[in-house]
Amino acid sequence: MRDYIAPILLSFCAFNMANAGQVEVLHYWTSGGEAAALDVLKAQMTADGHEWLDFKVEGGGGGNANAELQDHVLRGDPPTAALIKGLDIQRWARLGFLANLDELAQNQNWANLLPNEVANVMQHNGQYVAVPVNVHRVNWLWANKSILDKLNIVAPKTWSEFDQAAEKIRAAGYQVIAQGDQDWQHATLFETIALSVGGPRFYKDAFVDHIFNTKNNKIMAQVFERYYKVLSYADLSWVDEWPDATANVIKGEAAFQVMGDWAKGEFTNANKQPNQDYFCLPVPETQNMFLFNIDSFAMFNLKKSSSEDQLAQQALARNIMGEPFQKAFNLTKGSIPVRTDMSMASFDFCSQYSMSEFLTASEQQTLLPSIAHGMATTGTVQGYFLERLGELTRTPLEPDRAAKELTKAIRYGQYIIR
């Protein structure tokens, strides 16, 4: 960690201290790997001479963070920046609360640095209002190598191979899948299964465009059939938080976890190496497909703030898009840089594999936004989706009926105005 921060401190120590200001940053990165990654940005801002005010929200990126942000903004006390994703960026911009970053974007040449799929999320009416931090791949299967080696199991590429491996693992007394009993964790597993079973076209129809017909309803039932099969290998009373589930894979108590590549930050924090201690595998039957989750900071209007604080906000946005931060942060977080001009030579196997899959998926039109992590649809639709899926996870129904219930929840979310 120290090796990553040192070059940043040296690069920016010459900043004019007279321009120092404050940045208050709302985020919910509290796990070991996430916190270590954020320390990179804190160090960079400190080296610039600015004061970092940590607006940390416990409990994940759902209702807690949104409620805190809304309360502060409506009281006329917005943070400098807030960790906001997907269509929620558009909502805040539409209400006129976000700053225009076009001048900075032009100076840093964002148009030629960002893939279209990333740039589009950061813009409202053609103007940049948020800064992308990274690109996460969601459809990862993390595996403990020692368990697989001990049981002579080859990393599964299909669900049939997964089922065979799961039976061996369970018979040997290990937990097959480490899964916390939280709605968003269930949705993470579910959406990856939906992509594998239904394919990219079905996924886009159901979770992006919300198109439902007889064919798609039948596929949704097949998704639930596979989902319930995978859940039969999990003990939802075992852990709650996702880092605890990852820790059980790291410690060799569980063989697998389905989670985005922020989980790799936990492996890195534990000094584990890919292909030596663990495997990063596409969720079965999702090779060359990429469900993406983009972390981003929306920059709020600071019209009532001092000029020093406004300069600090510009420095924050500039640093986030700078190559030193993009490299250091993503090496720690487990994600890949948003910039397409950066070398991946210093990144590990998992990150290089992720970038390769990202570029392939972009070319093959199998690059799709995550509904579980707020990229595919509105926050309202996502909320009803998460809530109903959580209920259907804890109280399973027949696959056909479960498919109808989830479809109804998505449709209901479309017509609710909040």
Q: What is the pLDDT of residues 47-63, one digit of tens each?
A: 999 999 998 887 655 56
What is the rounded distance in angstroms from the CA atom of residue 258 to the CA atom of residue 141?
5
Give the strand pairing for 81-83 and 296-299.
Answer: antiparallel
Query: pLDDT tens for residues 101-129?
Result: 999 999 999 999 998 888 999 999 999 99
- For residue range 134-177, list pLDDT tens digits in order: 999 999 999 999 999 999 999 999 999 999 999 999 999 999 99
- What are the residue ranges spanned by the domains of the chain? 2-136+294-351, 137-292+365-415
The 10s digit of each residue's pLDDT in 225-234 is 999 999 999 9
Can you read off the two tokens belonging to residue 102?
A: 């076009």
For 15-25, the pLDDT digits (tens) are: 445 568 999 99
Q: In this structure, how many other beta carbons lie within 10 angstroms of the beta carbon of residue 171?
A: 9
pLDDT at 205: 97
- Evaluate if residue 12 carries a pLDDT over 50: no
Measuring CA to CA, which residue among 259, 207, 226 is closest to residue 368? 207
pLDDT at 14 over 50: no
Cα–chain center distance at 320: 17
Q: What is the pTM of this model?
A: 0.85
Same fold, 2-136+294-351 and 137-292+365-415: yes
Q: Which of 139, 132, 117, 260 is nearest to 194 (CA)?
A: 139
Report d(CA 418, CA 414) in Å as an integer: 11
Share of the chain above pLDDT 70, in %: 94
Confidence of residue 368 (pLDDT cuts 50, 70, 90): very high
Taking the C-alpha atoms of 360, 196, 378 and 81 in order, what is their torsion angle to the nearest 10 degrees?
-50
CA distance 226 to 283: 13
End-to-end distance of the chain based on CA atoms, in angstroms?
42
Distance CA 160, CA 166 (A): 10
Sheet holding 367-369, edge to edge: 136-137, 290-293, 367-369
pLDDT classification of 3: cutoffs 50, 70, 90? low
Class of 2-136+294-351 per CATH?
Answer: alpha beta
Q: 3.40.50.720, 3.40.1190.20, 3.40.50.2000, 3.40.190.10: which CATH number matches 137-292+365-415? A: 3.40.190.10
